[in-house]
Amino acid sequence: MLVLAVFVTFAGWYAWNIITQPGSATTGSDPTTATTCIPAVPTDAPAPADIRLNVYNATDRNGLASSAARELRARGFAIVDVANDPLDKTVTGTAEVRAGAGNEAAAAVVVAQVPGAVVVFDARAGGTVDMVVGDAFEALAPAGVAPTPAPSGAPLPAC
């Protein structure tokens, strides 16, 4: 009985180490076998035409929000306002997507338009979404491509 207990303990310890060991096939950390995580837009996501989008510029580069809004309008988004960031916030990344609670699906559609964008949920009552372009913004993602959003307090969407 003692031999059986030792065997079961060793087998459990060995299995646990194989599963949790960095570089194991089950954790997907081997770059040759790891799958790329590209978050999908939620299935209940609204069409771009149904998303009321404000595009704001949080940089010193003139016309950045205007050119981004023009491209987003061509992709079918309903552009409401184009201006400098009303919060006058410094955005060092590519973009910040601001939305209210309950508007997660629309925020996911917008964040997929900018590689590295982060989502920030606020207490807004309306259904509008803000896309605030930041210092690292270069261009929108190619149309139809869903880039992985940068980490934020509210990751969207989960992989």
Provide the pLDDT for residue 21.
61
How many angstroms separate the CA atoms of 111 and 98, rounded? 9
Diameter over CA atoms, the chain: 78
Q: 3-class secondary structure for 3-72?
A: HHHHHHHHHHHHHHHHHHCCCCCCCCCCCCCCCCCCCCCCCCCCCHHHCEEEEEECCCCCCHHHHHHHHH
- Hey, where are the domains in the chain? 1-35, 37-159
Provide the pLDDT for residue 11.
76
Q: Which helix (H) or strand (E) covers residue 97, if one does?
A: strand 95-100
Provide the pLDDT for residue 143.
85
How many angstroms separate the CA atoms of 116 and 122, rounded? 19
Provide the pLDDT for residue 141.
93
Provide the pLDDT for residue 20.
66
Mean pLDDT by 10 residues, the chain (159 residues): 77 70 48 43 78 97 96 96 96 95 91 94 91 96 64 46
